[in-house]
Amino acid sequence: QVLLVESGGGLVQPGDSLRLSCVVSGRTSSAYFMSWFRQAPGKEREFVAALTRSGGTAYYTESVKGRFTISRDNAKNTLYLQMNSLSPEDTAVYYCAACSDCTMLKIDQYDYWGQGTQVAVSS
């Protein structure tokens, strides 16, 4: 069984940084295309960033480009999301997701999801 466990969320002030982690267990993370999604209160879950299996190519939603960086350490079976210059609009539950064969933006095509980690940005 493959499990994804996120950590690193918290309450921060505007302009602060956070680094989220997602540990994959049950199978090597290099087998999966991996992404971060987020869901704000009252809104649909949305794509944030994705990274190919090798970590060679990253994709970002427009609103986080230049502020967020997705990376992975396959030796540690871990996916990261470095978030800088956080704003209140980034407040959401952040989820990591993994798929073996999917279309990046298609939520229902992901095979595995973590339980989420809360990020709150407020002054």
Closest by CA to 52, choosing from 98, 111, 107, 5, is: 98
Closest by CA position to 118, among listed 40, 49, 66: 40
**Dist CA 118 CA 33 (whole Å):** 23
If DSSP codes are grouped into helix, strand and coil, which group holds residue 31?
A: helix
Write the single-letter amino acid at 115.
Answer: Q
- Alpha-carbon distance of 80 to 46, in angstroms, equals 17
Task: Give the pLDDT confidence of 55-97 residue by residue, as tens digits.
Answer: 889 999 999 999 999 999 989 999 999 999 999 999 999 999 9
pLDDT in tens, 25-61: 988 877 889 999 999 999 999 999 999 988 889 999 9
